[in-house]
């Protein structure tokens, strides 16, 4: 705030002006970046999504207002849409189940190993995303020990993992796990251990303490982690491309194929917009339900 001293109005006015200008200067680089790399492409993409094809010339489009691009795209590709949300949802759920106990351990029990464990969580990111996903091809290969093990137990419907939905979900879970662990850790680490003692002192067993104190206090981390996992997982195409079959294509693959192979830019753009809109709707509903609008 301005006007620290009860000085004359004019002085504090000048200070106030200078302050507000400083604020704009601070915003400038970010705003410029957003304008060039988000706002302009966003508008271009939207205009592209309404373009109409030039008859007889594949890959050529003219500006138009063809809303049917949207309905056509949805009618044709709704299964991939649905699959994207289902796969991303399952992967997010699995990531939460794996990440929560791990983040809990790092935050409360790891002691002097805490820093090392956090480094280990991030360490895989030093290798490229693509490379790691290729590695999973080997891990889940038909003759690999994981597939053999599950086959030995007769647990696999198709006798394989690679090129099935299971492989895609496994890949998504693995690739986005750090984005789940880190916000969870940050939220759990902030919890004062004395609150857990207080709960214990007030007749709550360890389990009740988790349910009534730890879990609610970690909700901001849960919300942040699930969003950071779910959103990129929904739009991801690498995992499906490398680990799945043509039966397991997600919406990211469809958009990519339409852009690069079919050169059907309007359909690809329309699909991108629908994806963006549906994620936004889902996220807002989710944040509402989680009741943590003020925490995110």
Partner 1 sequence: MVHDRERNVEDLHLSNLTKMFGDVAAVDDLTLTIPAGSFFALLGASGCGKTTTLRMVAGLEDPTSGRISIGESDITSLRAFQRPVNTVFQSYALFPHLDIFENVAFGLRRRGIKNVEPAVNAMLELVELAPMARRKPTQLSGGQQQRVAVARALINEPDVLLLDEPLGALDLKLRRQMQIELKRIQTEVGTTFVHVTHDQEEAMTMADTIAVMNAGRIEQLGDPASIYELPKTVFVANFLGQSNLFAGTRIASDSNMIEVLANGIKFLVPVQRNSATGDEIIVGIRPEKMTVLDIPDREKIPTGNNILEGTVVDVSYAGVSTQYLITVPWGQNITVFEQNVIVGDRSSVGDRVLVHWAPEHTFGLAGGETLLATTVQAMAAGA
Q: Which residue, 108 or 259, is less far from partner 1 as judged by CB?
A: 108
Task: Indicate whether 274 belongs to the interface with partner 1 (CB under 8 A).
Answer: no
Q: Is 66 in the site for partner 1 (CB under 8 A)?
A: no
Q: For residue 153, how many C-alpha atoms fall within 13 Å in the half-sphere facing its CB?
A: 7
Phi, psi at residue 246, to the nearest 5°? -65, -20
Q: What is the DSSP string of 192-237?
A: -HHHHHHHHHTT--HHHHIIIIIHHHHHHHHHHHHHHHHHHHHH--
Contact segment (CB under 8 A) with partner 1 among 89-97, 105-113, 197-205, 271-279 equals 197-205
Show the CA angle centred on residue 235, arms to residues 172 and 92, nearest 5°: 40
Residue 192 in the binding site for partner 1 (CB under 8 A): yes
Which one among 20, 68, 205, 247 touches partner 1, defined by CB under 8 A? Answer: 205
Residues 210-229, interacting with partner 1 (CB under 8 A): 212-213, 216-217
Q: Taking CA 125 as the corner, what is the angle to CA 123 and CA 130, rounded to the nearest 5 degrees?
A: 140
Q: Which stretch binds partner 1 (CB under 8 A): 69-77, 143-151, 159-167, 194-202?
A: 194-202
Give CA separation, 278 vs 27, 61, 71, in Å. 29, 26, 14
Grouping H, G, I as helix, E, B as strand and the rest as coil, residue 160 is coil
**Which one, 80 or 199, has the nearer CB to partner 1?**
199
Between 154 and 194, name the residue whose CB sits nearer to partner 1: 194
Minimum CB distance to partner 1, residue 104 (Å): 17
Residues near partner 1 (CB under 8 A): 192, 194-195, 197-205, 208, 212-213, 216-217
């Amino acid at each position: 705030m301005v006007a620290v001293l009860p000085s004359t109005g004019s002085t504090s006015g000048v200070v106030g002006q200078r302050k507000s200008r400083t604020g704009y200067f601070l915003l400038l680089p970010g705003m410029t970046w957003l304008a060039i790399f988000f706002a302009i492409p966003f508008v271009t993409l939207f205009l592209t999504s309404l373009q109409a094809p030039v008859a007889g010339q594949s890959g050529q489009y003219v500006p138009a207002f063809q809303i049917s691009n949207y309905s056509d795209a949805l009618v044709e590709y709704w299964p991939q849409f649905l699959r994207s949300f289902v796969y991303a949802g399952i992967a997010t759920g699995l990531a939460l189940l794996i990440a929560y106990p791990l983040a809990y351990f790092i935050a409360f029990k790891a002691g002097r190993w805490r820093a090392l464990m956090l480094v280990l969580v991030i360490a895989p990111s030093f290798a490229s995303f693509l490379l790691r996903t290729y590695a999973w091809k080997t891990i889940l290969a038909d003759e690999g020990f994981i597939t053999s093990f599950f086959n030995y137990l007769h647990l696999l419907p198709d006798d394989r993992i690679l090129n099935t939905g299971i492989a895609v979900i496994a890949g998504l879970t693995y690739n986005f796990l750090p984005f789940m662990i880190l916000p969870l850790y940050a939220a759990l680490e902030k919890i004062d251990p004395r609150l857990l003692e207080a709960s214990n002192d007030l007749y709550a067993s360890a389990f009740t303490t988790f349910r009534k104190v730890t879990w609610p206090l970690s909700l901001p981390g849960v919300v942040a982690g699930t969003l950071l996992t779910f959103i990129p997982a929904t739009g991801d195409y690498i995992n499906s491309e490398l680990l799945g079959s043509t039966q397991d294509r997600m919406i990211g693959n469809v958009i990519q194929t339409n852009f690069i192979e079919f050169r059907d830019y309007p359909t690809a753009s329309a699909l991108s917009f629908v994806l963006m809109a549906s994620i936004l709707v889902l996220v807002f509903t989710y944040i509402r339900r989680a009741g943590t609008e003020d925490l995110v």
